[in-house]
Amino acid sequence: MKPSTPPSFSLFSRLGSCALLAGSLLACRATGDPEAGLQATRRPLDPRPGTAEVGDPYYPGLGNGGYDVEHYDLVLDVDPDGRELLGRATLRMRALHDLSSFNLDLVGLMVDAVAIDGEAAEFEHAGRELTIEPAKPIAGNTTVTVTIDYGGSPAPVADPGVPFVKGVGWMNTPSGVYVVSECIGAATWYPCNDHPQDKASYSIEVRVPKPFVAAANGVLKGVEEDGEQRVYRFEAPDPMATYLATLNVARFESKQEDGPFGIPLVLYYPEDATEQELEAFARTGEMIEVFAERFGPYPFESFGGVLSYENIGGALETQTLPVYSRRTGESTVAHELAHQWFGNCVSPSFWRDLWLNEGFASYAEWLWREHTKGAEALDEHAARVYRSLKRGKVGRPADPGLEKLFTAGPYARGAMVLHTLRREVGDEIFFDVLKTWVERFHDSVADTEAFIALSEEKAGRELDELFDAWLFGEVLPDAPEYERAAAGEGRRDRGQREE
């Protein structure tokens, strides 16, 4: 299969005709496990295809099985004006069993060639599924290098869990390119195992025409001037879910400062951004300090943000570099920062567990309010949220259903679960639960049952009544303590209006 005629800045011609073979062989020598390979060749192989999904109940067909991607090396050539992308993705992956074939996710782009350890592989591309058949079976527990050359005009895809936006993934806008992929959009711009269960580290090299600037996850390791183009190189060494990878290309200004704990803070923003828009990010370093005290050490090497030119439909906690729409507020920055612990460092096993991301990040906004305005302000806010949830008849946070994934259930009511748990067990145990959660499942995935088990372990008793009512109950339980606070606040509000 061949892509349409590539533009004049062809990535493939620049890399050279032999780079695919040489680069793949070198990568295999550098990363393979010789002993595992010897052991594999000493036994008869029993190859079978890897599965074409991970079994997520909300997204049948999403992700793939039979292997674990350890690292993505993406070399990308982006033409923002022509809305073209040419790419080479080199994946270091370990087979989990003997493989006769395996699948990757890629949608809307054309595949030019596939090689495994430098040897050409057969492939078939239909819909999201890129099925790859190696020239010889891959032995289980061995590491191989898979190289895919691809290109085309990337575009977002509709996500049934995110109906309030036109699509997720690669977005072309008048100002350039933005990538916000939750839940199923990563496959719009690179071949991947598109599910949070398979995390990997990333190297991202991006070539863009001047005066465009590229911003991606991790630490910027270098910028090379090449005539009328620039090449940016980023390294993201910590395991990352596919939907958290991002690339943004526009005429950005940027600024960097030293944050707490030696963490570099980098912000990319429009040339016409106002001081008021940038003010939302002014206390980022302080937020990191506050959250590190509550949640444990910040889990990554860097943090920052991309402020888009256009309204992109909200914000997304892309790892180390959240992407924000114009006129974002300080509480949103707090929310996306908290996701670096909850959602990024510890990701959901399945998408039905999303409240473990959004409820926790929403509660972090409450904690920031408590830090900046005091405990009484926190109590008043909790009462207001309770009253709103009760009036809106908001359903359960856990396993809310695909159509309610990004609604007040996992977000505000999820935060209410945590606040109620905090009141039940006390601050010492509650924040020990949060810190242990990050420590125990660091760089991995976890589910709701694991959080309940940890909470009960730290509390030293069963908490079925609390979680059954607040987390799994479809109807928000009666809570006199919140209702009284809400009533008192309402009287104060009316008095202030009358004055």
Could you read off the pLDDT of 187-245 as tens digits, one per residue?
999 999 999 999 999 999 999 999 999 999 999 999 999 999 999 999 999 999 999 99
Provide the residue type at 494 as one letter. R
- For the chain, the average pLDDT equals 91
CATH superfamily, domain 346-498, is: Neutral Protease Domain 2 (1.10.390.10)
Q: How confident is the model at residue 17 (pLDDT cuts 50, 70, 90)?
A: very low
Give the pLDDT mean for 272-291: 97
Q: Do 248 and 308 meet the contact criterion of CB atoms below 8 Å apart?
A: yes
**Tokens 């054309």 label which residue?**
110
| Angle in degrees, CA 269, 270, 273, rounded to 5 | 95
**Tokens 């909850």 label which residue?**
342
| Angle in degrees, CA 38, 43, 45, rounded to 5 | 105
76-94 pLDDT tens trace: 999 999 999 999 999 999 9
* pLDDT attached to residue 33: 53
378-421 pLDDT tens trace: 999 999 999 999 999 999 999 999 999 999 999 999 999 999 99
409-444 pLDDT tens trace: 999 999 999 999 999 999 999 999 999 999 999 999
Q: Do 64 and 91 meet the contact criterion of CB atoms below 8 Å apart?
A: no
Q: How confident is the model at residue 485 (pLDDT cuts 50, 70, 90)?
A: low
- In CATH, 11-241 is 2.60.40.1730: yes
How are strands ordered across the β-sheet holding 48-49? 48-49, 99-105, 129-133, 122-126
Cβ neighbours of residue 393 under 8 Å, at least 6 residues apart? 475, 476
Q: How confident is the model at residue 36 (pLDDT cuts 50, 70, 90)?
A: low
Q: Model-level pTM?
A: 0.90
* pLDDT attached to residue 9: 31
Cα-Cα-Cα-Cα dihedral sign, residues 424, 360, 350, 386: positive
- What radius of gyration, in Å, describes the C-alpha atoms of the chain? 24
pLDDT at residue 5 tops 60: no
pLDDT at residue 61 tops 70: yes
Question: 122 — phi, psi (to 5°)?
Answer: -75, 150
Domain(s) of CATH 1.10.390.10: residues in the chain: 346-498
Other Cβ atoms within 10 Å of 88 Cβ, number: 24
Q: How confident is the model at residue 16 (pLDDT cuts 50, 70, 90)?
A: very low
Q: Do 184 and 168 meet the contact criterion of CB atoms below 8 Å apart?
A: yes
Give the pLDDT mean for 281-306: 98
Q: Do 393 and 486 meet the contact criterion of CB atoms below 8 Å apart?
A: no
Asked which of 34-38, 123-127, 263-267, 409-413 is least confident by mean pLDDT, the reply is 34-38
Q: Give the H or E element holding residue 434.
A: helix 427-440
Q: How confident is the model at residue 489 (pLDDT cuts 50, 70, 90)?
A: low
Q: Do 114 and 155 meet the contact criterion of CB atoms below 8 Å apart?
A: no
* pLDDT attached to residue 1: 35
Give the pLDDT mean for 461-480: 97
Q: 452-461 long-range contacts, Cβ below 8 Å, gap at least 24?
A: 455/421, 455/425, 458/425, 458/429, 458/432, 458/433, 459/424, 459/425, 459/429
Give the pLDDT mean for 448-460: 98
Q: Which of 17-21, 38-42, 153-157, 485-489 has the highest mean pLDDT?
A: 153-157
**Residue 303 token pair:** 């943090």
Q: How confident is the model at residue 43 (pLDDT cuts 50, 70, 90)?
A: confident
Q: How confident is the model at residue 484 (pLDDT cuts 50, 70, 90)?
A: confident
Nearest to 94 by CA among 127, 147, 143: 143
Nearest to 287 by CA among 370, 408, 217, 381: 370
* pLDDT attached to residue 323: 98
Q: Do 315 and 324 meet the contact criterion of CB atoms below 8 Å apart?
A: yes
pLDDT at residue 344 tops 80: yes
DSSP letter at 115 equals E
Residue % of the chain over a pLDDT of 90: 87
Domain(s) of CATH 2.60.40.1730: residues in the chain: 11-241
Q: How confident is the model at residue 487 (pLDDT cuts 50, 70, 90)?
A: low
Cβ neighbours of residue 72 under 8 Å, at least 6 residues apart? 89, 90, 91, 190, 192, 200, 201, 202, 203, 245
